Amino acid sequence: EVQLLESGGGLVQPGGSLRLSCAASGFTFSSSAMTWVRQAPGKGLEWVASIIDSGGSTYYANSVKGRFTISRDNSKNTLFLQMNSLRVEDTAIYYCAKGGIGLAQGVDPWGQGTLVTVSS
């Protein structure tokens, strides 16, 4: 069974940093693109970033470009999202998901999400 377990969320002040992790199991992690998607309270889904299987290429939403970094450790089956210069508007549930939104197989499955709250 494919499982994705996010961790690292919490309360942080504006301008602060946070590193999210996503532990993957049940599939060949090193052969799968991975994606982060977020959802602000009461709002819709927002694609944040994606990374290819090797980690050699990364893609970011304009809203996070230059502040967030997606990376992976294929030896530890773990996906990361380093978030710097956090803003109030980054407050959201952050989901880790297998695949890529533009790939034929879509994004599936999704983790349960981790809540990031940016507030003073």
Binding mask 18-47 for another protein (x = CB under 8 A): -----------------x-x------xxxx
In our burial notation (b when 16+ CB lie closer than 10 A, e otherwise), range 67-105 reads: ebbbebebeebbbbbebeebeeebbbbbbbbbbbeeeee
Instruction: Name residues contacting another protein, limited to 64-103 (CB under 8 A).
Output: 95, 100-103
115 contacts another protein (rule: CB under 8 A): no
Residue ranges binding another protein (CB under 8 A): 35, 37, 44-47, 50, 59-62, 95, 100-113
